[in-house]
Amino acid sequence: MVKYLSMSFSNLQLEIKDLPQWEAVQFQPISKRYLTVIIINYVIVWFFILLAAGIVIFNTEDISKTNGLIFGVSVTALFLFFIVMSVLAFKKRGYAIREKDVLYKAGLLGFHTVIIPYKHIQHVKVKESFISRMFKLVTLEMYTAGAGRNMLIQGLERDEAERLQQFIVSKITDESEAN
């Protein structure tokens, strides 16, 4: 004879209007100096594309100098388009730290917001690139469990990123000890 334990099961429907509104969160902007880092990165890429194209164009008899000039102007116009889009998108970047999760928003045409609960974060790292280091900026990287989405918050002041790292690690530790 099998005995069944009496269980109290609850799965109440929630009203959409009663759900927390993440859109109401006050996002913190990243450092304005990071826009300079973005532009420098584009300039470096643009320079090497033009340099490589110039070498090919001036060392190939089949390509006219006019076509090379048209290519250079086109690449420069595309470069300027990316700079303008980067400046506009930069204004949309931000992050927020809440009691149970971290939020990051970015984008212009393809806008996205990532929300990661602390209990899903496994590792937090502060990283800096060569150019970012010149501007005393770092990236805070959060790695999630499994096939979840990792989060990068670029353009933070080093002391701010280290405080965030310590806070998130303490939240991760609290979550793991609670389980």
3-state secondary structure 120-135: HEEEEEEECCHHHHHC
pTM of the full structure? 0.77
Q: pLDDT higher for 34 or 173?
A: 34
- How many angstroms separate the CA atoms of 124 and 139, rounded? 10
Split at pLDDT 50, 70, 90, the class of 72 is: confident
CA neighbor of 139 nearest in space, from 150, 128, 124, 131:
128
Q: From edge to edge, which strands make up the β-sheet containing 112-117? A: 94-97, 101-106, 112-117
CA angle, residues 74, 79, 81, in degrees to nearest 5: 95
Distance CA 93, CA 39 (A): 15
Cα(179)–Cα(39) distance, integer angstroms: 45
1 pLDDT higher than 60? no
The whole-angstrom separation of Cα 168 and Cα 179 is 17
C-alpha gyration radius of the chain: 24
Q: Which CATH architecture has domain 94-178?
A: Roll (2.30)
Paired residues of 126 in beta bridges: 140
Say whether pLDDT at 29 is over 70: yes
Q: Do residues 140 and 124 make contact, with C-beta atoms less than 8 angstroms apart? A: yes
Q: For residues 139 and 149, which has the higher predicted lDDT (pLDDT)? A: 139
Q: Is 157 helix (H, G, I), strand (E, B) or coil?
A: strand
Q: What confidence score (pLDDT) does residue 2 get?
A: 59
Query: For residues 18 and 1, what is the distance between their CA atoms, to the nearest angstrom?
Result: 45
Of the listed ranges 14-18, 55-59, 123-127, the least confidently predicted one is: 55-59
Within 13 Å, how many C-alpha atoms sit on residue 174's CB side?
10
